[in-house]
A = this chain, B = another copy of it.
Amino acid sequence: MAVVVQNVARAAQAVIDRLAQAGVATIHEAQGRTGMLASYMRPIYAGARIAGSAVTISAPPGDNWMIHVAIEQLGRGDILVLAPTSPCDNGYFGDLLATSAMARGCRGLVIDAGVRDIRDLTAMGFPVWSRAVSAQGTMKETLGSVNVPIVCAGAAIEAGDVIVADDDGVCVVRRAEADAVLAAAEQRLAGEEVKRERLAAGELGLDIYAMRDRLAAKGLKYV
């Protein structure tokens, strides 16, 4: 049952890059408020904003062997996404693996477990979103799989799906929907710009969005 799937299809790089620009919050709205990983996934440092195609890893608790296998499967611009088969906060990944991944063009790591060498990863500019920071080490004894469907932090992810991550967390976009989601996201961004100006000028959302009648109809009372 331990397999490595090769030849994974990916979305167009230009689309992926523009998804990164749109940011997690906008993309998540643009695809109907879906795709968010759990809010316990936090970046190891502030300010990173990336997107890339998922190279997925299903790994046993306390065993990071499959990361070495996955790195060989990386294309330029990809993101490693690891889910343990049961909850584990061990530090699966550190600066040596990051060095190797960066040499292959990897843009970052999303891991529903722990990461370590935070100081080095920050200095290298290799962003990680994780459930935990932990120096507690791992083994290389048991197989897992690469590029199989996984559930990572509550979200179903397949190899080649687009991962977008920034300070707000991590969002997954189905590969086949990347173009449509990008279009919706960019339309949304344009609309927000107009609203931002009106709100900054002191207009109220109650008026811009014409909410007063609907609030009254639902029974809101001012006292």
| Complex Cα gap A158–B204 (Å) | 24
CA of A123 to CA of B142, assembled, Å = 34
Q: In the complex the two chains form, is B219's CB within 8 Å of A132's CB?
A: no
Closest residue of B by beta carbon distance from A153 = B154
* Complex CA distance for A38 and B87, rounded to whole angstroms: 9
Taking a contact as CB atoms under 8 Å apart, the answer to whether A94 and B25 are in contact is yes
Docked Cα-Cα span, A200 to B60, in Å, equals: 27
A107 within 8 A of partner (CB)? no
Determine whether the beta carbon of A204 is less than 8 Å from that of B71: yes
Cβ < 8 Å to B, chain A residues 46-71: 46-47, 49, 60-63, 65, 68-69, 71
Knowing A136-B28, A215-B143 touch, does A71 contact B205 (C-beta < 8 A)?
yes
- CB of B42 within 8 A of CB of A2, answer no
Q: Are B136 and A39 in contact (CB under 8 A)?
A: yes
Q: Say yes or no: A168-B132 contact (C-beta < 8 A), given A202-B103, A220-B69.
A: no
B71→A104 contact, CB < 8 A: no
Contact A154 B151, CB 8 Å, known A119-B166, A119-B167 = yes
Q: Is the CB of B168 within 8 A of A133?
A: yes
A88 contacts partner chain B, Cβ-Cβ < 8 Å: yes
A135 within 8 A of B: yes
User: Shortest Cβ distance from A125 into chain B, in angstroms?
Assistant: 14
A186, CB-defined interface residue at 8 Å: no
Closest to A138 in B: B33
**A interface list, Cβ under 8 A from B:** 1-6, 23-25, 28-29, 32-34, 36, 38-39, 42, 45-47, 49, 60-63, 65, 68-69, 71-72, 85-91, 94-97, 99-100, 102-104, 114, 116-119, 122, 132-137, 139-143, 149, 151, 154-156, 166-169, 171, 192, 195-196, 199-206, 209, 211, 215, 218-223
